[in-house]
Amino acid sequence: MTNDIDKRIPMRLKPGDCIGIVAPASPFEQTDFYTGVSILESMGFRVSFPEGIFSRSGYLAGSDMDRAAQVNAAFADGAVQAIVCARGGYGSMQILPYLDYEAIRRHPKLLMGFSDITALLCSLYQHSGLVSCHGPIVTTLKSAGLKTLESVFNALTLNELPAIELERGIVLSPGKASGPVICGNLTTLCHLVGTPFQPRMNGHILIVEDTGEKPYRIDRMLTQMKLAGVFNGLCGLGIGSFENCGKADELFEIIARIFNPIHIPILAGFDIGHGPDNIAVPFGIEAVLDADHQLLTYRRFIAG
């Protein structure tokens, strides 16, 4: 996939539009779920979700086929204008073969999530050309700060987003690059390598985040992806939050060593991922990464 893909850009939401909620991965607490629903409703949206969204099958929110059916149904439902995932955790990869990518391509809607939902964001971009959004899930909205909530509302409603200016940016490699943004969880991205759903990063800017991974594991994942040719043609790299992943200096040394021969701009300090802030950012839309000025500037996001 290159940046000349025939992309499907979802419509922006208006007050009163309906957000559908799906559970493609792990189960979750109903209290957290309903708190997140209330927050979306307070933004002026209606919310719908299917029967069985609270199902549990071990560490999954129902069977693979049932979880895939939720996603397919939300895209097919003409009353739903956008989709937000209930929780990440684990399980999104299992449903990828069962998604109706052609139907999703015909009915483009913004889908938002992060962590394990990275698998969905990548597969929908890869096979349907769908522009989506890396951002909070319903059950994390309860602890989201104003910065995160504002970014969610902007991503859902605005067709032009304000530039993301890093407050605590760290330049690991200077320069400027432009290309569509791929954003997601490093572990999940690594697990997609060698599958039909592996994102092709040629001509793209990549932003990664993770949580609970020791430095040597991060080294191993990045090394595997590099040896597999995943980073061939990558034009820029952003580093989100790496919570409980060791010392920042050690992480930055690993990244600089692995990417040094590639000579691309690398900027750390994005409030994206499992940290205190998790701002919503478009996935698949052209942007400019300016490491020197610590900026990520998006072009037009959602269709008017």
Pairing type for strands 110-113 and 132-134 reads parallel
What number of other Cβ atoms are within 10 A of residue 132's Cβ?
28
134-151 average pLDDT score: 97
For residue 302, the model assigns a pLDDT of 60
Query: pLDDT tier at 29 (50, 70, 90 boundaries)?
Result: very high
287-296 average pLDDT score: 97
Compute the mean pLDDT over every residue in the chain, rounded to the nearest whole number. 95
More confident residue, 261 or 275: 275
For residue 265, the model assigns a pLDDT of 98
Nearby residues of 45 by Cβ (< 8 Å), 6 or more positions away = 13, 15, 16, 17, 18, 19, 156
Q: Torsion angle of alpha carbons 260, 263, 267, 273, nearest 10°?
A: -70
265-287 average pLDDT score: 96
Domains parsed from the chain with CATH numbers: 18-157 (3.40.50.10740), 164-298 (3.50.30.60)
Q: How many whole angstroms separate alpha carbon 267 and alpha carbon 262?
A: 14
For residue 6, the model assigns a pLDDT of 79
Pairing type for strands 295-298 and 286-290 reads antiparallel
Residue 261 has pLDDT above 90, yes or no: no
Q: How far is CA 70 from CA 51, 62, 110, in A?
A: 9, 10, 15
Residue 2 has pLDDT above 80, yes or no: no
231-252 average pLDDT score: 97
For residue 303, the model assigns a pLDDT of 60
Query: pLDDT tier at 285 (50, 70, 90 boundaries)?
Result: very high
132-143 average pLDDT score: 97
For residue 301, the model assigns a pLDDT of 63
Residue 204 has pLDDT above 70, yes or no: yes
What number of other Cβ atoms are within 10 A of residue 245's Cβ?
20
Q: How many whole angstroms separate alpha carbon 151 and alpha carbon 159?
A: 13
Nearby residues of 232 by Cβ (< 8 Å), 6 or more positions away = 201, 202
> Which pTM does this prediction carry?
0.95
For residue 161, the model assigns a pLDDT of 85
Q: How many whole angstroms separate alpha carbon 174 and alpha carbon 266?
A: 7
Helices 248-259 and 215-227 cross at an angle (nearest 10°) of 10
Residue 1 has pLDDT above 50, yes or no: no
pLDDT tens figures, 57-116: 999 999 999 999 999 999 999 999 999 999 999 999 999 999 999 999 999 999 999 999
Pairing type for strands 286-290 and 164-165 reads unpaired
Burial class (CB in 10 A: 0-12, 13-18, 19+), 14: exposed
Query: pLDDT tier at 304 (50, 70, 90 boundaries)?
Result: low
Give the type of residue at 115: S
Query: Which residue pairs from 210-214 have beta carbons closer than 8 angstroms and sit at least 24 positions apart in sequence?
Result: 210/185, 210/186, 210/242, 210/243, 210/245, 210/273, 210/274, 211/115, 211/241, 211/242, 211/243, 211/244, 211/245, 211/273, 211/274, 212/243, 212/244, 212/245, 213/186, 213/187, 213/242, 213/245, 214/245, 214/246
Active site residues: 115, 209, 274
Beta-ladder partners of 179 = 287
Query: pLDDT tier at 262 (50, 70, 90 boundaries)?
Result: confident
CB 127 within 8 Å of CB 147: no
How many residues make up the chain in this entry?
A: 304
The fraction of the chain above a pLDDT of 70, given in percent, is 97
Query: pLDDT tier at 167 (50, 70, 90 boundaries)?
Result: confident
